Structure 1
């Protein structure tokens, strides 16, 4: 079965900023210290780095990482480094990832999220010497499982037609 290919409208920069702010607010909620809760900022950064690499880049990822560092009261630069590398590698593979259906895209997202978590874990272990356990990496698997939902939600405003016409197939 051939799936339809949508001609997407350009992404509104205000919508991109709003989704990043909402992801940051979701990370501010008190459930963030529980194992398995996804890092919404990282997920939204990867999404926009893949879909709009010219609008969301490494600089915005660095700033969002600094905001998360201040919120979590961690070593300044821990999340900034992880988000910067996450955005860089997402931009590197963005053309390849967009060729695949959303389910397969999640398999490309999983190693990126694992890499970001591994960087954060290495920095934490150098500073504190404590290993949080293998359940710590469940966050990446949950982010990969949420990828189809996030892609559907964040691409929804771009799928609508500017002028709806029943005689035009696009």
Structure 2
């Protein structure tokens, strides 16, 4: 049973999922100075596809993208991979529950996941000899939660079925 008022979606194309990850990785790799408060686009995409398509996007995708981020940022090898895998696990575990809520309540429930992921990343950075970024590090999880409704609208747009006025087919 679908929640009341929710539109029936078409199946997602695997090429669209791959293209979204390529775009997210490209945005993360942009030389924007990588300040601590910029949102991690791959984190948002991994959480989104982990909730909406847990059978297609799993831990291996999160691990590979995490290794790509580790190499690109010259971070401790496996730091982003561990964070992305833990985020993917949390997203997949909450996927059935999250889909029953509207997009704004989903964004509110994503805040602890994003805060936890950034906290683990910060802890790993501190253990490896990094510095504490300060209070501006709390802005990134908030921005990622704000991006959640926008990402949902954009990433579900190709799957939306146009309304069919056929009275013989209720779906």
Identify whether the pair has TM-score above 0.5, normalized to the shorter chain. Answer: yes
* CA-based RMSD: 1.7
Say if 2:67 is the partner of 1:66.
Answer: yes
Q: Distance in 2 between matches of 1:138 and 1:12?
A: 33
User: Which residue matches 1:126?
Assistant: 127
Give the match for residue 166 of structure 2. 167
Question: C-alpha offsets along residues 95-138 of structure 1, whole Å, 9 cap, x if unaligned?
Answer: 11110010000111111111111111001111125211121121
Q: How many residues align?
A: 167
Matches within 5 A, 1:12-161: 12-31=13-32, 33-161=34-162
Give the alignment's TM-score, normalised by structure 2.
0.92
For normalisation by structure 1, the TM-score amounts to 0.92
- Deviation per CA, 1:77-101, whole angstroms, max 9, x where unpaired? 0000000000001000001111001
Task: Tell me which stretches of 4 or more aligned residues in structure 1 moved more than 4 Å.
Answer: none
Equivalent position SS for 1:136: helix
Q: Per the alignment, do residues 157 and 32 of structure 1 end up closer, same or farther by CA in structure 2, a change over 3 Å counting? A: farther
Structure 2 unmatched ranges of 5 or more? none
